[in-house]
Amino acid sequence: MEKNNSITHVILTGGVGSRLWPLSRKSQPKQYLDLFDGKSLFEMTVDRNRTLVDTVMVVGNTDNCHLSRKVLEKSGTDYVDIIESTPRNTAAAIAFAAFASDPNAILIVTPSDHIIDEMEHYAHSIKEAIEKASRGYIVTFGIVPTKPETGYGYIERKGEDVLSFREKPNKVSAKDFIEKGNFLWNSGMFCFKAGVFLEELQLYNPEVYEKSKAAWDANIGGKLDLELSLAIPSISIDYAVMERSRKIKVVSSEFIWSDLGSFESVYDYLVSKGHPVDANGNMVIGTDAYTAFVGLKNTIFVATESANLILQKESSQEVKNVYNELERKKSHLLE
């Protein structure tokens, strides 16, 4: 591997975590909640890559950049701060990071709200991805699935080659994927040279490239102009580049991974860390007040100062509907 490639960890912090309402709010998205071993997911993301990279870059927005700054200043971490004025999805967010980098710099792009365990496996996957990226490939991390999960997208592969990307499947398709044995969970993590990514973006989505470049060129201290940003099509890196480029490779990864995108995944994680549940699998999050469940199984009670949520664990994906309804009513309960 060429040692002159500097390595940058690009952390994407744009998500709101609507399926984790009422814990996750616009003013305190899920990646900043101190729910997990007394640290936030964002802090754990910074820590896990600290020894693997030369530079840290955070792509955030006007609502959350102060929350990132607080964490990074606490640990004395120098970082490059990119502040979006409005969310434009992952293709643009990653383009800004690439424009801010030397074309030969290798970027490891990760969300800020995932749980990752088994760090030996993780470091091995990162090393393999950096080696492929240094040879000009765009690398995606696929996680060896442990169950037919319907909350994740999938990558169909043959060895290191990607055959197709699949949307979140229904139960039948998910079981079919697992049985076939050559499908991986799509982790939303990537590794590539900044210049290679920009070349592919320009080739396959010139509009996102040009408009992101215009917004980046006009940035003031990493802050992006609202009007120029609104002109950028809101499209994911998957649609803009990954599903179209011929330079894609996948690293099949054995580390433990969860995107903590729902209360079901939070429940499983907290149980693994010894968080109490009663004899019928009921859990309380957010309060120490005595809480009794009568005639209920696998129920999660989520308490906050201004709102409570009671749900069946299996219905975790439907929390988004509550969030969307409150958004329609312009409720202060989302703030």
Are 63 and 16 in the same domain? Answer: yes
Structural domain range at position 212: 7-258
- Write out pLDDT tens, residues 220-262: 999 999 999 999 999 999 999 999 999 999 999 989 898 888 8
Instruction: Give the residue-averaged pLDDT of 206-213.
Output: 97
Q: Is residue 1 assigned to a domain?
A: no
Structure token pair of residue 115: 């749980």
Q: Check whether 330 has a pLDDT greater than 60.
A: yes
Question: How far is 23 from 334, CA to CA, in rounded Å?
Answer: 10
Of 224, 206, 187, the residue nearest 97 (C-alpha)? 224
Determine how many CB atoms are found less than 10 A away from the CB of residue 138: 23
pLDDT at 35: 75
- Same structural domain for residues 231 and 291? no
Residues 227 and 271 grouped into a single domain:
no
Does residue 313 share a domain with residue 189? no
Q: What is the mean pLDDT of residues 5-32?
A: 88
β partners of residue 12 = 59, 111
Query: Are 60 and 16 part of one and the same domain?
Result: yes
Mapping DSSP to helix (H, G, I), strand (E, B) and coil, where does residue 167 land? coil
Q: Residue 198: what pLDDT?
A: 98
Does residue 231 sit in the same domain as residue 294?
A: no
pLDDT per residue as tens digits for the range 2-13: 445 799 999 999
- Tell whether 268 and 227 lie within a shared domain: no
Looking at 258, 274, 292, the residue that finishes a domain is 258
> Which of 195, 229, 258 delimits the end of a domain?
258
Average pLDDT over residues 161-174: 92
Looking at the fold, whether 244 and 269 belong to one and the same domain comes out as no
Please indicate, yes or no, whether residues 75 and 12 belong to a single structural domain of this protein. yes
- Asked if residue 2 is part of any domain, the answer here is no
pTM of the full structure: 0.90
From 238, 258, 278, give the residue that closes a domain: 258
Query: Are residues 289 and 222 both part of a single domain?
Result: no
| Residue with more model confidence, 10 or 151 | 10
Residue in this structure with the two tokens 């927005």, named with its chain if needed: 61
299, 323, 123, 95: which is closest to 211 by C-alpha?
A: 95
Secondary structure (3-state) at 9:
strand
Do 253 and 319 lie in one domain? The reply is: no
95, containing H or E segment: helix 89-99
Is 86 part of a structural domain of the chain? yes
In a domain? residue 48? yes
Cα(69)–Cα(77) distance, rounded to whole angstroms? 9
Domain count, the chain: 2
Radius of gyration of the chain (CA): 20
Asked if residue 130 belongs to a domain, the reply is yes
Which tens digit of pLDDT belongs to each residue from 119-148? 899 999 999 999 999 999 999 999 999 889
Residues ≥6 apart with Cβ < 8 Å to 311: 263, 299, 300, 302, 318, 319
What percent of the chain has a predicted confidence (pLDDT) above 70?
99
Residue 37 clears pLDDT 80, i.e. is over it: no
Q: How confident is the model at residue 94 (pLDDT cuts 50, 70, 90)?
A: very high
Q: Are 145 and 184 in contact (CB under 8 A)?
A: yes
Same domain, 137 and 267: no
pLDDT score for 4: 58
